[in-house]
Amino acid sequence: MIDAIWHAIERFLRRSPHLNLLMKRMGIDTAQYWLLVDLFGALSDRRELPGHLGQTDMSLQKSSWMFYFLSGLMVLFFVLAGMAPTTYLVVFLLLSGFLLFTTLLSEANNSLVNPVEGIVLAHQPINGATYTTAKLTHILRILLYFVPALNLIPAFAGLLLAGAPWYYPLLHLAAAFTEGMVLALACCALFGWLIRFVPPARLKAVGFAAEMSSWLLYLFSQFVPRLHLKLHMPRWLPTGTGPRIVIASALVAFSAATIVLGLRSLSGDYLVRVSAIAHGGSGKKFRPRRSYFGALAARMFGGPSVRAGFDYVWCMMTRDWQFRRQMINLIPITAMAFAAAWQGLRISPFSGKFTAAHVFPHSLGFAFFVVCSAMPYGLDRQGAWVFLLTPMGALRGLARGVYARLLTLILAPELILLPVLAWQWGIRDAALFLAYSAAVSAVYLALELRLVEGVPFTRQVEAAGNPYMLIILMVGGLVVGIAVALQYFLIFRSPQAVLAATAGLSIAAWLVTRNSLDTFEVGMRFHLGLLSNESQGIYTEVNS
């Protein structure tokens, strides 16, 4: 239904002479604009624009249905709690504002800072205003899906609150759509300022940092109440109503001017710089250097091919744009996990009390689930032909090298926490807990290695997600809950039980890892075989 509404709105806008006149006054070529909108829609249907949520109908529908469910669940609790209408409205506006800002920031970043199709269009006579406006049109579709998904049920359920006026649904929806439009313009303006002042070669790295700003604001908001009490911020404001109105008006005018000037920056020579932006680095420039850990992995697991896989997967993790964007989701989870663990560090899991330490091994398993799910895909997939030149026998060492690199990511936090936990709990409890944690994480890694189908970073990103991912997460959450309960009630009741569980999990990790490495190697052979057959088919067709 929303798609039909969107297409009806699009047909109306195409025929509107007033809109076309306004776009021409803004420096937008209307004929080129609608052609680009159709082009980006066709590329999205062919899944050649990865990450463009607003142009992928299936992704939008799945996400919006999830938000409908979550908003309805929250409404049930808030209405039963008898929340005041004003507080009710503010809570939902803050929630929808944060989710919209996070989504829109990511979409604007991927559209403007990663212009994969812009290199082809750069030689065409298209001005920057027309191109960037067409690229960002899909943000309106995000608002059309997500604003009702987050606020439609709460708006009409607000009539059940005591003291809510009859026009409350209209007020709620109007405030939500206004908030969404302001946030969309602010996100576009932010990247307009970045494009104006940041060198094109560094724009990807800065855009990646800007995309994390929403989560940094969330973490900073946790300290605002304490700062409010310590600094007595209300005393900084004038007491009269008139001066406060003047200050608020000045802030609104300044924000509006910042947004307008930022949007005007998008209409500059964007396509002139698009090649430098697309080929710019997503982080620090890589300098080849000797890896002592890679040499150690080659000695332990056997051969130079192990070292090649060890260094290859780390280099791609640190430079691949799409992989880094997927890992942004781990930043808030990791921050909250470490904050919870830091608060519970003084209490040993052997004390009989439930602490954050019981969840720590499984949080590492979840992190590796995200990593292994994103590892098969990359933006430099055209370079997969290099692996066709390698001997097939080297793939066994390559698989072992990839596993060795992921294994170091398990051992690194364990070694960092060892002196801290030994100081808090004692050397015996700390060593037993970290050994158990490493064994659990190794089991998770061995199972999740099967998610890496083919050579890492050599497949095109799929616009449609795995249909079984939600089921996997639900079943995995149930298994983790059972495992945490067993730890609390049985395993961490005695050091002997922890030692026995660690030995059993280590054996299980070794057996599962052997099978997963064989499966990983076969998957790489199969993937490279498909690439070889495709290339032969292309050359046969050309020669004929």
**Which residue, chain included where needed, has tokens 């932006």?**
277
Q: Say yes or no to pLDDT of 353 above 70.
A: yes
Residue-wise pLDDT tens digits, 64-111:
888 888 888 888 888 888 888 888 999 899 888 888 888 888 788 777
22-46 average pLDDT score: 77
CA 187 from chain centre, in angstroms, equals 16
- Among 210, 186, 198, 191, residue whose Cα is nearest residue 260: 186
> How much is the average pLDDT of 500-526?
92
pLDDT for 310 beyond 60: yes
Mean pLDDT throughout 501-530?
91
Whether 159 and 168 have beta carbons less than 8 Å apart is answered as yes
Res 512 pLDDT > 90: yes
Query: Distances from the Cα of 33 to the Cαs of 14, 133, 136, 348, 405, in angstroms?
Result: 10, 8, 11, 62, 46
- Evaluate if residue 10 carries a pLDDT over 60: yes
How high is the pLDDT of residue 544? 44
Cα gap 219→216, rounded to integer Å: 5
**Pairwise CA distance, residues 297 & 402, whole Å:** 10
pLDDT in tens, 182-191: 988 888 888 8
How does residue 204 score in pLDDT terms, banded at 50, 70 and 90? confident
Please report which confidence band the pLDDT of residue 510 belongs to, taking 50, 70 and 90 as the band edges.
very high
List the alpha helices (DSSP H) in 236-303: 241-265, 274-278, 292-301
Neighbours of 514 (CB within 10 A): 11
* CA distances for 40 relative to 36, 48, 86, 206, angstroms: 6, 9, 41, 25
Task: Say which DSSP state 465 is in.
Answer: P
Assigned token pair, 57: 């109908």
| Buried/exposed 272-303: b ≥16 CB within 10 Å, e otherwise | ebbeebbebebeeeeeeeeeeebeebbeebeb
Q: With 50 as the cut, is the pLDDT of residue 539 above it? A: no
User: What integer is the mean pLDDT of 420-429?
Assistant: 87
SS3 assignment, position 267: coil
Q: Which residue has the tokens 């503010």?
A: 90
Q: What is the pLDDT of residue 445?
A: 92
Per the model's pLDDT, the better-predicted residue between 481 and 49 turns out to be 481
pTM: 0.67
Question: Quick one: average pLDDT of 137-159?
Answer: 87
Residues 483-496, mean pLDDT to the nearest whole number = 87
Residue 51 — pLDDT band, cuts 50, 70, 90? low
Structure confidence at residue 420 (pLDDT): 84
* Total count of residues recorded for the chain: 544
Q: How many CB atoms lie within 10 A of CB 127?
A: 17
pLDDT for residue 294: 61
Higher pLDDT among residues 200 and 97, named by residue: 97
The type of residue at 314 is: W
Which regions of 154-222 does DSSP assign to beta strands (E)? none
Mean pLDDT is lowest, of 143-147, 189-193, 474-478, for: 474-478
Alpha-carbon span 340 to 491, nearest angstrom = 22
Question: How many whole angstroms separate alpha carbon 313 and alpha carbon 493?
Answer: 40
Q: Is the pLDDT of residue 54 over 60?
A: no
Q: What's the DSSP call for residue 23? A: H
pLDDT at position 221 is 64
Ordered alpha helix ranges (H), 114-167: 118-121, 128-136, 138-157
What tens digit of pLDDT does each residue of 369-404 get? 888 888 888 777 777 788 888 887 888 888 888 998
Percent of the chain with pLDDT over 70: 75
Least confident residue range of 253-257, 280-284, 495-499: 280-284
- The chain-wide mean pLDDT, for the chain, equals 78
Cα–Cα distance measured from residue 282 to residue 285, given in angstroms and rounded to the nearest whole number:
9
* Residue that is written with structure tokens 């364990």 in the block: 414
